Structure 1
Amino acid sequence: MAPTTPTILGIDVLWVATILSGVAAFAVMVAIYAVTTSRDPMTKRVKALNDRREQLKAGITASTKRRAKLVQRNDTADRMRAVLQSLSVLQEEQVKAAQIKLLQAGIRSKEWAVAVIFGRLVMPIVFGGLALLWVYGTEGFADWSPLKKYMLVAGTFILSYKAPDLFLKNKITKRSDAIRKGLPDALDLLVICAEAGLTVDAAFHRVARELGRAYPELGEEFSLTAIELGFLTDRRQAFENLAMRVDLDAVKGVVTTMIQTEKYGTPLASALRVLSAEFRNERMMRAEEKAARLPAIMTVPLILFILPTLFVVILGPAACSIKDSLISGS
């Protein structure tokens, strides 16, 4: 009698093990490639910011290629603005609010503010019209009740209208969380730079360069702030721009401290040291809160995924042995 390979629930164990080994080897190769080809995410951003600063100092608006892109982008934005103004749905307050959200999301181009407002107008018409045609113009939902059809169409209209705002809100949240993680380390480095005798501009440049690889979003904001401190006539405006670009109360507190030290000449290192200690305590409290919620969160994955796998690992060999014994006995 030919030897039979062990099976679990009718599936060949050796075949499954071969596939899993191949997947694991492919994942290892992908991880090695990602590690060996990783680049500094701050290099390109800082270079673009420095180039722009030099252009502003030299009185150059932009390079030829960049100017062509800006002209094309402005033409598109002007067309959308003209459509919105013809319909009397464009307000300057909406444009300014959209521009602030774009800055907080890390999108520097202000022309996208008109695109966001234009998307609020066009997307409900397009997707809502398609939903109306699909639900009421075809027989695709003939078995649905009128309430279900209405809920589907209304949900499509609402989601289409809210889609640009939800996209921006998601990007703002992710970016704010990334900046919040690196803010205590940045303040510690600012304290060291201040105690070493560096100016505020040089300190911001140094912190951006040191933390650019670990926290690229925070490094970008500090680099932009350092550049604005270098060429803006009002240094207070540079700090206020930083508070406007980052949707975090912690950053607003740092900006307030920096403005007060600039105005009254109070020691910068001591004030930043106190803020850094507070932010570290806050970060530790958030970590403890997440750790306290972990047992409740892990209950469902434990029941659905871990326990069945554990039963298969424990009882699988015994089931295979029992099956082989029954086959050989028969």
Structure 2
Amino acid sequence: MSADAVRAQIEALLPAVLNSPLMLAAALLACLVTVGSIWVAFVERDPLPGRLKAIEARRSQLRSQALAARRRAGRTEEPGLMRKVVGHLKLLRSQAATAAQGKLLRAGWRSRDALVRFLFAKAISPIAAGGIAALLFYGLDLFHLSALGKLAGSTGFTLFGAYLPDLYVHNAFQKRSQALRLALPDGFDLLVICAEAGLSLDAALERVSREIAEAAPELADELGLTAVELSFLPERTKALENLAERVPLAGMRALINTLVQTERYGTPLSQSLRVLSAELRTERMMKAEEKAARLPVTLTLPMVLFIMPSLFIVLIGPAILRTIDALSRL
């Protein structure tokens, strides 16, 4: 079949194809897709409703999680040995329990069980330490001390047992404070970014807590809890004051004052946070320089006690030995 014959058959079938309903539907669909693409490309969309909807959904999720945790905490089982002892001694109603609760909050332990364990250890550790001392000094008589020495050793052990829980909590608080102090500048930088992006305060704190959860879990925990409290408490400044109470650092206090001022007067947040971040980084550098400057003074005592005597023995020892030999021959 020649090319002219093929062309003639195609020209004969073309009107039938173009007039078919399928072809008309395809052409109509192509026109609709083209118009829709042009409409989507040139119409400006407002992202604010979607952002507000996402923030509200996240707030509802945090509220449900907090309520579920509170319900789980309320459905406790029968009190254990520690709770029975603390309840029998009525230690939870004392002023020492309130002070201990503040210490545990600053150390990162917020549950009521932590307070019960601390009070139980506070009550039992002197008795345990005194019993161990009596066994060592009076029962086994390991060190063969006099009566006064045994009494002094037992008293020292008992006092050490009484202060051991406080020392443990204080050590945990110092480690947590150091971790928070190192993480604050990075957290401030992320807060600056979130504030410049248009996020609200509670949304910014929640986003920063998620971003730094792996690098700085202590700061992420505190910021996440503050974001939840901002959604729950009727006074937002109360949530910020709780954060300042849990983290007694100068940098955190400056942040709280800035946030309270922003909430009250509507001052710009990003510029203040940027200045605070720069100040914290400068303070951290100054502390590192201070430690480096104190290093020679710190090394002086070990050098005098351990290095200088060995050096004197090596340098002066042979001369002293020769002098002793010479004097012995006389």
Contact 1:103 1:245 in 2 (8 A): yes
**Whole-angstrom distance in 2 between the partners of 1:133 and 1:195:** 66
5 Å matches for 1:56-205?
A: 56=66, 61-62=70-71, 70-72=76-78, 74-76=79-81, 78-85=83-90, 91-142=93-144, 144-205=145-206
5 Å matches for 1:1-330?
A: 53-56=63-66, 61-62=70-71, 70-72=76-78, 74-76=79-81, 78-85=83-90, 91-142=93-144, 144-297=145-298, 300=302
TM-score (norm 2): 0.67
Change in CA separation of 1:61 and 1:217 when aligned onto 2, cut-off 3 Å: closer
**Whole-angstrom distance in 1 between the partners of 2:69 and 2:184:** 34
Give the unaligned 5+ runs of structure 1.
1-48, 309-330
**Whole-angstrom distance in 2 between the partners of 1:229 and 1:103:** 18
**Whole-angstrom distance in 2 between the partners of 1:217 and 1:51:** 22
- What is the one-letter code of the residue matched to 1:115? R
Identity between Structure 1 and Structure 2 (%): 45
Contact 2:62 2:228 in 1 (8 A): no
Cα offsets for 1:25-57 (capped at 9, x unmatched)? xxxxxxxxxxxxxxxxxxxxxxxx997732445
**Whole-angstrom distance in 2 between the partners of 1:165 and 1:50:** 38
Contact 1:120 1:161 in 2 (8 A): yes
Contact 1:187 1:276 in 2 (8 A): yes
**Whole-angstrom distance in 1 between the partners of 2:294 and 2:80:** 51
TM-score (norm 1): 0.67
Larger Rg over CA atoms? 2
Change in CA separation of 1:51 and 1:268 when aligned onto 2, cut-off 3 Å: closer
SS of 2:77's equivalent? helix
Cα offsets for 1:222-251 (capped at 9, x unmatched)? 111112222322211211111122132321
Contact 1:77 1:112 in 2 (8 A): no
Cα offsets for 1:42-77 (capped at 9, x unmatched)? xxxxxxx997732445x78445xx766x334x5555
SS of 1:233's equivalent? coil
- What is the one-letter code of the residue matched to 1:84? L
**Whole-angstrom distance in 2 between the partners of 1:80 and 1:296:** 50
Deviation at 1:301, TM superposition (A): 8.7
4+ residue runs of structure 1 moved beyond 6 angstroms?
A: 49-52, 301-305
Contact 1:80 1:114 in 2 (8 A): no
Contact 2:176 2:218 in 1 (8 A): yes
Contact 1:84 1:118 in 2 (8 A): no
SS of 1:111's equivalent? helix
**Whole-angstrom distance in 2 between the partners of 1:216 and 1:50:** 23
Deviation at 1:178, TM superposition (A): 0.0
Change in CA separation of 1:132 and 1:237 when aligned onto 2, cut-off 3 Å: same
- What is the one-letter code of the residue matched to 2:153? L
Deviation at 1:151, TM superposition (A): 3.2
Contact 1:81 1:114 in 2 (8 A): yes
Q: Which residue of 2 aligns with 1:317?
A: none
Give the unaligned 5+ runs of structure 2.
1-58, 311-330
- What is the one-letter code of the residue matched to 2:113? E
- What is the one-letter code of the residue matched to 1:185? D
**Whole-angstrom distance in 2 between the partners of 1:169 and 1:158:** 17
